[in-house]
């Protein structure tokens, strides 16, 4: 919880002397009754007071006043809201090592299925593009809100060749730049990179990640496969560097279930952002409701509103 006008919270200090005055008035009233008549004859000369119930209304008014002071400070809650005007580019490795079966039924099939589910779960208005790469990067689908077209493009990916991760990331940044030019603004964007091996061709992917950070594009990386795969073992260290340099996050997935969970996490992270939302109305409404409740309770128990 934060406040847009925290200076108004100083008003809470005013509730302390008000409470002290109320306690003082109650003590004086008790002393006055004691002086008026002895305790044994009090019931016959003075009506019985409603005990704790006479304090309930005052407590309600006090809490309502507290809520009103907090409302004046314009409280804000940080919540997750959907980002629908963003662009996500899914970059999938399709080198020959993706045929390895340490991830069942194969790395490629697991990657295609998880990516399709990932795209399916994104907000409808979020634009998604797709790139597949080996020694060359191929744009499968320019950013679009037609998620079915993206899923179909990813389903057509076949594995062959070697790995040029840097070139694939450069191609993804070009797609983002083209989309931003069409938007005529620097719209939010992210890249999701899934790879199972070390980049052996093309540009330096870590250097491209630095360019992505400068462009405000975070890269989220997924290292797919197990270290026991020998020559086709993934390269999580480099992928972690790429993510860190770009301002994204790095993940590893040793099996299809874990890959699905990674994509699920990425979906909630990329498709939402944390924003402050003012909740003044909730505090003011609560204060009003409490004042009305306290007033009717006082009327019912002691015959007056105060």
**What percent of the chain clears pLDDT 90, i.e. is strictly above it?**
41
Query: pLDDT tens for residues 127-149?
Result: 999 999 999 999 999 999 999 99
* 114 and 218 together in one domain: yes
Say how many domains are in the chain: 2
* 214 and 260 together in one domain: yes
* 249 and 146 together in one domain: yes
* 89 and 74 together in one domain: no
Give the SS3 label for residue 141: strand
* 112 and 239 together in one domain: yes
* 227 and 284 together in one domain: no
* 106 and 136 together in one domain: yes
Instruction: Tell how strand 189-195 and strand 217-224 pair up.
Output: parallel
Residue 112: CATH number of its domain: 3.40.50.410
pLDDT band with cut points at 50, 70 and 90 for residue 42: very low
Say what the pLDDT of residue 10 is: 84
User: From the centroid of its chain, how far is CA 205?
Assistant: 28
Distances (CA, A) of 303 to 55, 58, 67: 13, 14, 26
Query: pLDDT tens for residues 261-305?
Result: 887 777 666 755 556 678 788 888 887 888 788 777 777 766 665
Residue 236 and residue 73: Cα distance in Å, rounded? Answer: 47
Structural element, H or E, at residue 286 = helix 280-302
Say what the pLDDT of residue 140 is: 97
Would you say residue 83 has pLDDT above 80?
Answer: no
Choose among 273, 261, 269, 272: nearest CA to 117. 261
Residue-number span of the structural domain to which 258 is assigned = 84-270
Would you say residue 41 has pLDDT above 70?
Answer: no
* 119 and 25 together in one domain: no
* 11 and 114 together in one domain: no
């Amino acid at each position: 919880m934060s406040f847009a006008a925290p200076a108004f919270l100083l008003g809470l200090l005013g509730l302390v002397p008000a409470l002290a005055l109320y306690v003082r008035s109650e003590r004086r009233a008790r002393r006055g009754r004691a002086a008026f008549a002895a305790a044994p004859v009090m019931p016959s000369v003075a009506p019985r007071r409603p005990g704790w119930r006479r304090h309930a209304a005052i407590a309600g008014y006090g809490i309502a006043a507290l809520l009103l002071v907090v409302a004046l400070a314009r409280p804000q809650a940080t919540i997750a809201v959907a980002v629908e005007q963003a662009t996500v580019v899914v970059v999938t490795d399709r080198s020959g090592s993706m045929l390895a079966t340490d991830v069942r039924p194969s790395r490629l099939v697991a990657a295609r299925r998880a990516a399709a589910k990932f795209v399916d779960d994104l907000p409808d208005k979020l634009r998604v593009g797709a790139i597949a790469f080996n020694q060359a990067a191929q744009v499968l689908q320019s950013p679009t809100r037609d998620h079915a077209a993206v899923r179909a493009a990813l389903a057509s990916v076949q594995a062959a060749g070697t790995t040029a991760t840097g070139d694939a990331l450069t191609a993804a940044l070009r797609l983002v730049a083209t989309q931003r030019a069409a938007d005529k603004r620097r719209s939010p964007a992210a890249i999701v990179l899934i790879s199972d091996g070390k980049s052996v061709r093309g540009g330096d992917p870590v250097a491209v990640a630095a360019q992505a950070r400068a462009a405000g594009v975070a890269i989220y990386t997924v290292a797919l496969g197990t270290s026991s795969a020998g020559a086709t073992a993934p390269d999580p260290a480099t992928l972690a560097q790429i993510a860190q340099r770009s301002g994204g996050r790095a993940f590893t997935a040793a099996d299809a279930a874990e890959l699905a969970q990674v994509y699920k996490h990425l979906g909630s992270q990329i498709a939402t952002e944390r924003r402050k939302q003012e909740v003044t109305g909730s505090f003011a409404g609560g204060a009003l409701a409490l004042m009305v409740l306290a007033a009717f309770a006082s009327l019912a128990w002691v015959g007056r509103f105060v």
